[in-house]
Amino acid sequence: MSTAMTMKTAAQLRDTYLRREMFPTIFCDGCGIGNVLNYTLWAVDQLGLDLDRTVFVSGIGCSSRLSGYVRADGMHTTHGRALSFATGIKAANPDLTVIIFTGDGDGAGIGGNHLLHAIRRNMDLTVILVNNFTYGMTGGQAAPTTPTGSFSTTTPYGNVEHPLDICNLAKAIGAPYVARWPVSYPYQPIKSIAQGISKRGFALIEMLVPCPTAYGRRNGLKDLERIWQWYRDQVVLLDEHERIEQFGSPAERAALADKIKIGVFQDIERESFGERWSALVDRVKL
């Protein structure tokens, strides 16, 4: 993918794809969710998608407000149910491109069961899952992704649970495309979102996004520069992680313990639900 050569400016992107009447956005200062929308629209633009054939679906939460800002058909659905609605849209209209915005609470907590089964079916959907380690909009409760030891309104003495690794889960149950990036990496997410949309079958792109308001201020990361730097410090590329695990010193290996792996976790081919459904229709002459 060529990037800088063909990318629209932010103003061009705004004028082409956004509903100006919906502005200003609801996002707090220093929130990374707007960057996710930016990257998604750059990917949509680079693929030349027809917005009349593209649907944006979301559940409930801060990141789920994104579907309303795009000048395209969309559904802002119920909490945790974005994938159910998206599955119906895609099954009924296989020619549409369906992109889902969801959060870690919405997509992996309340909607976790729907996530599992959409991947199992290999629905041809692209899920952009915004992970801010918390239920931001609903009050800063602990989510399935909240790191061990983190403070939230439901873990005032520190979280004792282990966080869910969404990408490893999606990979294990066969999602054809799985990637994770922090929003502080601008180009890799655009490329991954474009690859995910182009992939037949289920694609999951997890975006690590700073939430200074609900997560940051309870965990010593209220300062905007500090929280964005923290996200840069927390991550390690998959290749680098593997290299250190194999060849690193004991100190380097010990330092990996708190790191979050980023990169493309899976990129495989697997027959999608739509392909198998079409074959069935042909066979039984439905």
d(CA 242, CA 184): 22
By CB under 6 A, tell whether 179 contacts ligand SF4: no
As measured in angstroms, the least distance from the Cβ of 218 to ligand SF4 is 11
Question: Whose Cβ is closer to ligand SF4: residue 136's or residue 182's?
Answer: 136
Helix 187-198 / helix 33-47 crossing angle, nearest 10 deg: 50
d(CA 126, CA 192): 11
By CB under 6 A, tell whether 27 contacts ligand SF4: yes
Contact letters for ligand SF4, residues 195-234 (x by CB under 6 A):
----------------xxxx--------------------
Find the part of the chain contacting ligand SF4 (CB under 6 A) among 2-10, 26-34, 39-47, 49-57. Answer: 26-34
d(CA 110, CA 254): 33
Question: Whose Cβ is closer to ligand SF4: residue 125's or residue 211's?
Answer: 211
H-helix or E-strand containing 230? helix 224-234
Q: Would you state the structure tokens that stand for residue 73, as one six-digit string?
A: 């058909």
Q: Would you state the structure tokens that stand for residue 272, as one six-digit string?
A: 């999608």
Contact letters for ligand SF4, residues 57-76 (x by CB under 6 A):
-----x--------------
**Distances in whole angstroms, Cα of residue 182 to Cα of each of 16, 20, 113, 234:** 25, 27, 25, 10
By CB under 6 A, tell whether 137 contacts ligand SF4: yes
Q: List contacts with ligand SF4 (CB under 6 A).
A: 27-28, 31, 33, 62, 132, 136-137, 211-214
